[in-house]
Structure 1
Amino acid sequence: MSKFDPIRPYYDAEANAAIRKILDDPMLEAMMGFTFPEDNQKNWKELMKHTHSLRDFQINFIYPGLMKVLEKSSDGLSTGGFELLEPNTAYLFISNHRDIILDTSLLNACLYENGLVMTTSAIGDNLIQKPFLQTLSRLNRNFAIQRSLKGRELLESSQLVSDYIRKSLLQENRSVWTAQREGRTKDGNDFTQKGVLKMLTLAEKEGDPFSYFEKIKLVPVSISYEYDPTDVLKMPELLAKARDEKYIKSENEDFLNLLRGIIGTKKRIHIEVNAVLDQEIKEIAQSGNNLSEKLNQLCRLIDLQIWNGFKLWPSNFIAHDLLYGEKEYANEYTEEEKTAFENRFKNKIDTKDPDVVKNFLAMYANPVNNQKKALSEI
């Protein structure tokens, strides 16, 4: 027994038994029918029966499925910055977070294509309550973050996650992906939560907790969707927040968001790997500030990198101009693109409610404002 058993992915030795456990699950059959529409069940099931490692499962089944998702629901994926990374090297990728499944899956696909170490990735346990999803998640090398904990239980859980991430990075040479905040960004404002960084430092047992960041290779990642496939689904929570009301999730909300993220329209997608924060972290470490201030500085640094690396699409510029009643970015889009974007939100939201319109447009416009800030500071 390992102390990490409650949260860890499967070991390779457990992979085949886990696969066989879900082999006849209707959800897997539907997933494989989507991924391999011209193949029959017997063939892919036979291949799965002879799969004995997480890497083989990811490459032979998850990766083709992801390529099919891109083919069916996007206008393609572009990338930048992967040439900055070295093979056989573990990185801590801290990313903005828009889509439950695709953010980390797309990053891993790019890492695989570039011959780089794929990640073990954080996922909230609220998203994997169904037995099939939990098994699939562990086969896809996810580790679980326990949600809804408080007090001592929360501290113990944070310590466990922190220790697991350190072990992955420094002992197993396994890259790690985590979002810059708990949960997805709903309003387009990608800010790093200080608590996420503080949690990571819990693994540093000796000396200055901030020295942890000097021992690892931290890489901010920016992911940009031209159309957020879950934009409309995020609206009720945004409106509740704007109206200072308590928001309560519906029973199947997480699963609906997960499904919509996969099949919903995205248009173009871009992933930008920003520079490894090496010298910058050393400078913060030597600043003489207390831990709290050092973490504030690192949060700001990660934010600036993510904002600067964010690929701004016509949808972002259109939303900005509509939100502020300007034509500041009119040269960044065509009239056809503007009409298509306007039709999208007019068909999906109540345009008679000014709060709804404002929050929907801000979701796309905020990255424009944030990149403007980043360019003025970097």
Structure 2
Amino acid sequence: MGEFDAIRPYADAEVPAVLARLLADDAFLGILTQFRFPRLAAPLGWLLKPLIAYRLRLEFRDVSSVAQLQTRIASYVDHTIERATDGVSYSGIEHLQGGQAYLFLANHRDIVMDPAFVNYAVYHAGLPTPRIAIGDNLLQKPFVSDLMRLNKSFIVHRSISGRREKLAAYQLLSSYINHSIRVDGESIWIAQAEGRAKDGDDRTDSAILKMFHMNRKAEPFAEVINSLRLTPVSISYEYDPCDQAKARELSMRAGSGSYTKAAGEDDQSIALGITGYKGRVHVHFGAPVDQGLDDSKMLAAEMDRRILSGYRLFPVHYLAYAMWADRDPTLAVPNVAELFPAAELSAAKSEWQRRLANCPREQQPYLILQYANPVRNQYRIKAGLPL
């Protein structure tokens, strides 16, 4: 057994067997049937599932590597993105060079689509897709684990409770990330903090930056970070398909001090995040860090500055900020009408009012908060103010 077998993505030699296992998994076939034939899945699932399995076995019968698999499913991913967005744009791709591996540190808003949009950007730029960090809390079903590890995902053990066990898990994770970039030449995508930023306030957890250094503690922190080519990534959604659910959770936390997820809630968030309407999406790649910061908290602040500066603000963000009770009157935030054409602004106002109308009144402040926070953060940076 290899050192990283418990967490690593599947290797090329494992692809045929894992594909065969997936296409015999009733739960996986049920999800595909529901996605492809939502009205017929319940009454005719018994007939449709074996037909879908047969078609997919034919389509993937000659796939024997991860690269082949990603090429084969690229059109499906593109189709899914086209159905759920009004277009994806990206910038900063010129900071990435072929033949180099990078440690992409990104803001985190959606469980599956954040890394999917990064993959979309680098794949269409002709660059290799990164390996993706995913929490074990999302891999409760065997087919989900198989599916993600086939798509270059590696496991972050978050459900471990013991202090020693946690330390060992982070040490292994640190070793794997360093090995992937420095030995395998494979890039890594990881979120800047555990869990999605449900309030729209994207901040880097310095503990994650410390983790990158754990297995090379004899070397200076700044040298280790520079060797990994730490690269900030800003992922901007015009509309968040899960914004109503996030507002509900934030409201309940504010009211009771806690929130307990219902069974299957993560699965629902994943499905809604993939299929729900997002408007426009923008992915920005910053330049790799080369400042030589030796303190993880200072580096976290620098990553925040870069990620938040690279975030693209859409009309809805300014509309929400104008309604926000906690907006900062000292910030020079322009009126939205000064920034966007009338037709674009009119469409945004209509969609924003629809979302507000669908949100219970007591939860609306938390819906507004999600879209307003990026405006506050970006204009504080522009003004040279601390976040």
TM-score over 0.5 (shorter chain): yes
Deviation at 1:201, TM superposition (A): 1.0
CA contact (8 A) 2:23 2:53 kept: no
Matched, 1:375 2:382: yes
CA contact (8 A) 1:34 1:65 kept: no
Deviation at 1:17, TM superposition (A): 0.6
Percentage identity across paired residues of the two chains: 35
Query: Separation in 2 of the partners of 1:105 and 1:335?
Result: 30
Could you report, residue by residue, the CA deviation over 1:17-60 in whole angstroms, capped at 9, with x for unpaired residues? 10011123353475489689xx9764542231211111111121
Amino acid at match of 1:71: E
Matched, 1:11 2:11: yes
Amino acid at match of 1:5: D
Query: Separation in 2 of the partners of 1:84 and 1:195?
Result: 26
Matched, 1:350 2:360: yes
Extract structure 1 runs of 4+ deviating beyond 3 A.
28-36, 39-44, 324-328
RMSD of equivalent CA atoms: 2.3
Query: Separation in 2 of the partners of 1:32 and 1:111?
Result: 30
Query: Separation in 1 of the partners of 2:253 and 2:30?
Result: 39
Matched with 2:269 is 257
CA contact (8 A) 1:221 1:272 kept: yes
Structure 2's unaligned 5+ residue stretches are 38-50
Amino acid at match of 1:87: G
Matched with 1:290 is none
Deviation at 1:216, TM superposition (A): 1.6
Matched with 1:315 is 316
How does the TM-score come out when normalised to structure 2? 0.88
2:68 partner SS: helix
CA contact (8 A) 1:80 1:272 kept: yes
Could you report, residue by residue, the CA deviation over 1:117-171 in whole angstroms, capped at 9, with x for unpaired residues? 2111100111111111110011001011111323111111111111100000000
1:364 pairs with one of 334, 356, 371: 371
Matched with 2:248 is 236
1:55 pairs with one of 59, 67, 91: 67
Matched, 1:329 2:336: yes
Amino acid at match of 1:307: L
CA contact (8 A) 2:85 2:277 kept: yes
1:51 partner SS: coil
2:113 pairs with one of 91, 99, 102: 102
Matched, 1:300 2:301: yes
Change in Cα spacing, 1:82 to 1:31, as seen in structure 2 (3 Å) is farther
Matched with 1:188 is 200
Query: Separation in 2 of the partners of 1:256 and 1:12?
Result: 30
Matched with 2:237 is 225
Q: Following superposition of structure 1 onto structure 2, how do residues 28-177 of structure 1 map, counting pairs within 5 Å?
A: 28=29, 31=32, 42-61=54-73, 63-150=74-161, 151-177=163-189
Matched with 1:246 is 258
Amino acid at match of 2:196: R
How does the TM-score come out when normalised to structure 1? 0.90
Query: Separation in 2 of the partners of 1:99 and 1:188?
Result: 11
Could you report, residue by residue, the CA deviation over 1:218-260 in whole angstroms, capped at 9, with x for unpaired residues? 1100001110011111123312333361221111111110011
Matched with 1:289 is none
How many residue pairs are counted as aligned between the two chains?
A: 361
Could you report, residue by residue, the CA deviation over 1:71-106 in whole angstroms, capped at 9, with x for unpaired residues? 211111011111221001100000001111011011
Amino acid at match of 1:3: E
Change in Cα spacing, 1:92 to 1:276, as seen in structure 2 (3 Å) is same
Change in Cα spacing, 1:41 to 1:133, as seen in structure 2 (3 Å) is closer
Query: Separation in 1 of the partners of 2:77 and 2:183?
Result: 29
Change in Cα spacing, 1:43 to 1:106, as seen in structure 2 (3 Å) is same
1:49 partner SS: coil
2:137 partner SS: helix
Structure 1's unaligned 5+ residue stretches are 286-293
Change in Cα spacing, 1:218 to 1:132, as seen in structure 2 (3 Å) is same
Query: Separation in 2 of the partners of 1:44 and 1:219?
Result: 37
